[in-house]
Amino acid sequence: MFNTIMVPTDGSEYSKKAEDTALSLAKKLGSNVVAVHIIDEKLIYPYEVLEEEGKAILQEVQKKGKEMDVEVHEILIVGNPTHDMAKITEKSGADLVVISTHGKTGLEKLIMGSVAENALKKVPVPVLLVK
């Protein structure tokens, strides 16, 4: 049914629930998972710090995938999480996106919520929201 399941993640507890859902679904369907972390081009932290954080987040998804015997591919890019999700979905070949409804707390939570809302509107494949 779904061959490639994409899961955007920011490492938050909400995102981890989406990761677990995507991996469990992939296990049941024999699918692979594409874990995506987008370094927001507007953030002011040094790039190296954000890159290391992104790599660590994706490695955790990779580790969970290995434990579940699910193939996980990683995408780490700099971009705009709100506007680039549809393009990333198409380029990754995903036919399902599993995304959390919220991300990190405070302003970042508001931003991630808008990412999920935008994904519903613009991503050309089914989107599964995880609370």
Q: What is the pTM of this model?
A: 0.89
**Kind of pairing, strands 96-100 and 72-79?**
unpaired
pLDDT at residue 103, as a whole number: 58
63 burial type by CB count under 10 A (0-12 exposed, 13-18 middle, 19+ buried): exposed
Q: Give the CATH number of domain 4-130.
A: 3.40.50.620
In order along its 131 residues, the chain shows pLDDT tens digits of 899 999 999 999 989 999 999 999 999 999 999 999 999 888 878 999 999 999 999 999 999 999 999 999 999 999 988 888 899 999 999 999 999 987 554 444 444 457 788 888 889 999 999 98
pLDDT at residue 64, as a whole number: 98
Cα separation, 109 vs 95, in Å, equals 26
pLDDT at residue 111, as a whole number: 45
The residues spanned by each domain of the chain are 4-130
**Kind of pairing, strands 72-79 and 127-130?**
unpaired
